[in-house]
């Protein structure tokens, strides 16, 4: 079997082809390269660090089992991301939790993101940290389907088309979920922002 000297220096395509031939070290490098993103995504969907880690382990196993069927000419992470999302949703379904909602029928307009940007951030570093924690906590309170859609858009920086493909939903549903998620986030952050903006 063909081996390489330094796996860290190899691009994804080379690592994929090596892993497809059964090279475990190449697969380990793929895991090392993407583990943080997989874990972060799983934690956000599941709403629990422990559950996120458990899902991530399942994802690593699934990647290894299915790596031979992956088209090495394509970008790797979108495939991994889809496996992660599907694994999370499957676990939520097993627990009897809803991952869909009838509240997706809201306007398709594209408002600006309602999560506070730098203009809301106090100059003091401690306040910036505090605000980030508030945003994180508010995000965790969103229903799964809103939380993951907003996360893919804002943090993963995916297009609507990419989100639709990842979640197996249409673009209209993607837009409506993002809009609703932003509204929910605005409601949760409204009090905090009003307190911060109050000169008294």
- What count of residues does the chain have? 200
- pLDDT of 192 reads 62
- pLDDT of 190 reads 76
Distance CA 83, CA 166 (A): 9
pTM of the shown model:
0.62
| 29 against 157, higher pLDDT | 29
pLDDT category, 194, cuts 50, 70, 90?
low
- pLDDT of 195 reads 58
Which domains, ranges and CATH numbers included, belong to the chain? 7-94 (1.10.1740.10), 102-197 (1.10.10.10)
pLDDT of 8 strictly over 50:
yes
State the average pLDDT over residues 153-162. 87
For residues 181 and 114, the answer to whether their CB atoms sit within 8 Å is no
- pLDDT of 128 reads 46
pLDDT digit string, tens, across residues 75-132 = 999 999 999 988 988 888 887 754 443 334 333 333 333 334 444 443 444 444 455 6
- pLDDT of 146 reads 87
CA separation, residue 14 to residues 27, 40, 146, 165 (Å): 11, 25, 36, 25
Distance CA 27, CA 20 (A): 9
Which residue intervals of the chain are DSSP H helices? 12-20, 24-46, 49-66, 76-94, 125-140, 144-154, 160-167, 171-197
């Amino acid at each position: 079997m063909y081996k390489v000297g330094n796996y860290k220096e190899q691009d994804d395509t080379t690592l994929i082809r090596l892993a497809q031939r059964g090279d475990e070290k190449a697969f380990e490098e793929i895991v090392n390269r993407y583990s943080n993103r997989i874990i972060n995504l799983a934690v956000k969907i599941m709403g629990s660090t422990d559950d996120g880690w458990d899902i991530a382990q399942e994802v690593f196993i699934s990647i290894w089992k299915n790596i031979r069927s992956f088209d090495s000419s394509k970008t790797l992470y979108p495939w991994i991301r889809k496996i992660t999302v599907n694994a999370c949703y499957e676990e939520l379904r097993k627990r009897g939790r809803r991952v869909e909602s009838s509240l997706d029928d809201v306007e398709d307009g594209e408002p600006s993101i309602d999560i506070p940007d730098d203009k809301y951030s106090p100059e003091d570093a401690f306040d910036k940290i505090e605000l980030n924690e508030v945003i994180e906590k508010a995000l965790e309170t969103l229903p799964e389907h809103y939380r993951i859609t907003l996360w893919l858009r804002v943090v993963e920086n995916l297009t609507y088309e990419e989100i639709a493909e990842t979640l197996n939903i249409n673009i209209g549903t993607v837009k409506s979920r993002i809009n609703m998620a932003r509204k929910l986030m605005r409601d949760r952050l409204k009090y905090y922002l009003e307190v911060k903006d109050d000169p008294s």
